[in-house]
Structure 1
Amino acid sequence: MRKINTVMNRAGKLVAIIGLLLIANVSKAQFLMDMIDTSTNVGKGMFSMYQKYDALRFSGYIQPQFQLAESKGAASYAGGDFGARVNNRFMLRRGRFRIDYGRYNKEQMPTVLFAFQFDGTERGVFIRDFYGRIFENKWNVLSFTGGMFARPFGYEVNLSSSDRETPERGRMSQILMKTERDLGVMASFSPQRKDHPLYFLRVDAGLFNGQGLAGPSDFDSHKDFIGRVSVRPIKLNARDWTVSGGVSCLYGGMEQFTPVVYKIHAAANGKEVFVRDSAADNVGQIAPRHYYGADVQFRIPNGKGKGATAFRGEYIRGVQTATAMESETPGTIPMENNRTAPLYIRRFDGAYFYFLQHLGSDKHQVVLRYDWYDPNREVSGKEIGEAGRNLTRADIRYDTYGAGYVYYMNDHVKMILWYDMVVNESTDLEGYTSDLKDNIFTCRLQFRF
């Protein structure tokens, strides 16, 4: 009988542990605790486990979707390029599972946070977030973060894919901040108490490797500085209209492992051309990656239970170092025929603009988005492809017009119907003399817990 009771007690504790670990909402956990009789062995075991693990929170989401492209083999920033003989596909765009562990002091101020997030799809399993954050508890205004986490630049980059109203971030965000995360350290000023006079303000500043998840490891000793100053939503009137925004800066670069660098200069005929610089002392120099951006968000409530009207915008410009055929930040040392490839330095700019409108209810929403990315703002149109100018497909500007409908079925499920019309400028390059057939329709379901 004693053995049976021991087995039953252990089984009860195991069930209790599993149940408590699956509870994400603390209030629900407290409700469950009120129903536990702590005078029993099982009850005492459950209470001790609750005290130990109540700081854990589990969350996640999956995004199965169907896509239809305008042509087979379409190149796309709506989830990756289509196969050479494919114009429609089912795919699991994201499958995220996240674990957070947080602790608070007696005044309910945060003291420490750990976060771990994985992404699993048919293409494999990858890490997304692996970081720790500590908070000072004298003034409750500072925190320090280390590990793999989102770069503190801009608004769209830091808006979670589970909360975003569009299937993907804009082309500019994906190219400049591929995978959004990077390894580094960051200090943040963000008052935790609502009565603090600077509660509305947040300042982040950090040092990062630079290539992020685009490469397996850091390939040079140079670090990127990223900083952002932002304000929380500020009420504009008694009807709860709010505005928020921020300014961002990335000042970094990558080491030049090759003496060959191409930069835009005006030729004798006045035309902008890529000029080859092959000086021996180029090796070891830092090729620039300098981004400067500003963003704003404006929200107008439509009434209780009727959602809101919102506007968002962000503009970024700067200098980008990449390769002849791509303007993405390299994740590894660029190679060409088993030799280090030449680097191309371009002046770019880009922006996005959102209009979001609920339709008489917070369950139905219409979204419009326009974004552009010009990887080389010093040339355009038929100049690209002209003999002797060394311009390639990486210099072509793209404008994307997107429209969609979002249906929030409940707190855990939403559906997105979205259409992207992608327009590239017409050039003299073979294959890019007219607009490509690369428009994409996406139908997505998101399940979230």
Structure 2
Amino acid sequence: MKQLLFSLLLLCPFFAFSQSNNSPSSYDPHEIAITGYLQTQYQRAQSPGISSFSGGNFEKNSQDRFMIRRGRLKIDRSDKYSSIVFQIDATQNGVALMDAFIQLHRPDSKNLLFTAGLFNRPFGYSIVYSSGYRDFPERARVFQTLMPRERDIGAMVTFRPDHKMFHFLTAELAVINGSGYSARDYDTKKDIVGNLGFRFDSLANKKLHIGFGGSFYKGSVRNDKETYYTSTSNGFVKNTSPNNVGSNAKRNYYGGNLQIQYDNTFGATSFKAEYVAGTQPGVASTSSTTGAIASQSFAAQPATDLYLRPFSGYYLWLSQRIAKSRFTALLAYDVYDPNTDVKESEIGAPNSFTTAGDIKFSTLGYGMTCQVGPRIKLTAYNEHVVNDTTELPEYVNDLKDDVFTMRLQYRW
């Protein structure tokens, strides 16, 4: 099933570059432009103190909260030869730098762009698609785990042919640190990210819009220990040697994505899907490194032994605008399996070295948005999160970790 889905995504992305974080508000020459959006929300969790990918974990004794999910302020400027973009995120947790990059291009064409600085990794569809335009509250669990905060520091080349015959094509290649947006590069290796996307917006009398593409990520994580663990069908195998110190564990992903929108008498129907698989270096789950964080990408040199996991994940997003009303119905399903080698029923078995970092999760989301005004959007959304049962004491049954979100967004 997974292989079939991936093949369809590759053979079957970008809609509207204005909705990509890796671009200014406009490439037309302009002085300082200020844009942004604010997302304020109320959330109710099924249980107090749960771990969550819906805006972060809940406090130990709390199962509901008000929060500023995103407070983005974007400043950009463009002239004949270049653009500069600077974006911050201001929430109750403080102010963080989100984007800071310079783009160079020819004065008579934007078909070839050179980008340098802090920007979204050009992998797939949802990573670069702005959260200010996305109907669904959050990105899928698999992408939040592999690429937390989406950004990295490096340089990128983007090619979009001017020729009318090839205007549907976008190719991107980036060289990045691999340690995320806020960390120093902790080894001498650089990671390479590539994306090839296609879009067709004028099919079936301009009612059908299709986008699809494929991406790869080729990188590594330095191993500072004599021991590392490789995954098998029975758990992990321990590898110990003095020669392992300073070696590099592969961090390789490949993915495919598909977007379809059809404007019909019932409104507009949109379907989006993305699949990603590969090898992810992680660590063992501990009291301080719990659950999915064990397989999350590193912002600093890992202090414990590495665990190499083959993973896969995907999401399916379906949205339906209801006729010409302001309402859009949402339905989503995503799956993340951080270790495809081992069965969930064997996680926690003696001498398997498996932990909570190997557990498969699936999430069913459903809700509705209301476009209150040109700049204001209200979203009500519920996520039913299911983990497969294991032999680990805390994961013998499905956790009660569903989350309901009511969000108000203002974009300018």
Q: Does 1:349 align with 2:312?
A: yes
Q: Which residue of 1 aligns with 2:280?
A: 320
| 1:401 pairs with one of 356, 364, 369 | 364
Where does structure 1 lack aligned partners over 5 or more consecutive residues?
1-23, 27-52, 105-110, 266-270, 336-340
> Deviation of residue 103 (structure 1)?
1.4
Q: Which residue of 2 aligns with 1:171?
A: 141
Aligned residue runs from structure 1 range 144-163, under 5 A = 144-163=114-133
Q: Does 1:204 align with 2:180?
A: no
> Deviation of residue 284 (structure 1)?
1.5
Q: Which residue of 2 aligns with 1:63?
A: 39
| 1:330 pairs with one of 284, 298, 302 | 298
| 1:417 pairs with one of 374, 377, 380 | 380
Q: Which residue of 1 aligns with 2:218?
A: 251
AA aligned opposite 2:298 = P
Q: Does 1:432 align with 2:400?
A: no
Q: Distance in 2 between matches of 1:206 and 1:415?
A: 36
Q: Distance in 2 between matches of 1:162 and 1:206?
A: 24
Q: Distance in 2 between matches of 1:199 and 1:217?
A: 37
Q: Distance in 2 between matches of 1:262 and 1:186?
A: 33
> Deviation of residue 130 (structure 1)?
0.2
- Alignment CA distance shift 1:421-1:324 (3 Å): same
AA aligned opposite 2:135 = E
8 Å CA contact 2:222–2:301 kept in 1: the answer is no
Q: Which residue of 1 aligns with 2:246?
A: 284
| Stretch of structure 1 that moved more, 79-88 or 238-247 | 238-247
Greater helix content: 1
> Deviation of residue 237 (structure 1)?
1.9
| Larger CA Rg, structure 1 vs 2 | 1
8 Å CA contact 2:25–2:76 kept in 1: the answer is no
Secondary structure at the aligned position of 1:61 is classed as strand
> Deviation of residue 202 (structure 1)?
0.4
Aligned residue runs from structure 1 range 1-16, under 5 A = none
| 1:264 pairs with one of 231, 236, 240 | 231
Deviations 1:150-178 (A, max 9, x none): 00001111111100101111100100111
Q: Distance in 2 between matches of 1:362 and 1:177?
A: 36
| 2:63 pairs with one of 83, 87, 98 | 87
Q: Distance in 2 between matches of 1:140 and 1:431?
A: 54
| 2:50 pairs with one of 69, 74, 86 | 74
Q: Does 1:293 align with 2:251?
A: no
Secondary structure at the aligned position of 2:166 is classed as coil
Deviations 1:80-101 (A, max 9, x none): 0000000000001111100010
8 Å CA contact 1:380–1:397 kept in 2: the answer is no
AA aligned opposite 1:247 = G
Secondary structure at the aligned position of 2:332 is classed as strand
**Aligned positions, number:** 379
Q: Does 1:231 align with 2:198?
A: yes
Secondary structure at the aligned position of 1:344 is classed as strand
Secondary structure at the aligned position of 2:79 is classed as strand
> Deviation of residue 235 (structure 1)?
3.2
AA aligned opposite 2:362 = D
Q: Which residue of 2 aligns with 1:50?
A: none
> Deviation of residue 357 (structure 1)?
0.2
Which structure has more relative contact order (CA 8 Å, sep 6+)? It is 2
> Deviation of residue 182 (structure 1)?
0.3
- Alignment CA distance shift 1:132-1:122 (3 Å): same
8 Å CA contact 2:207–2:264 kept in 1: the answer is no
Aligned residue runs from structure 1 range 111-126, under 5 A = 111-126=81-96
Deviations 1:343-376 (A, max 9, x none): 0000000000011101112521001000000000
> Deviation of residue 238 (structure 1)?
2.2
| 1:370 pairs with one of 333, 336, 344 | 333
Q: Does 1:389 align with 2:365?
A: no
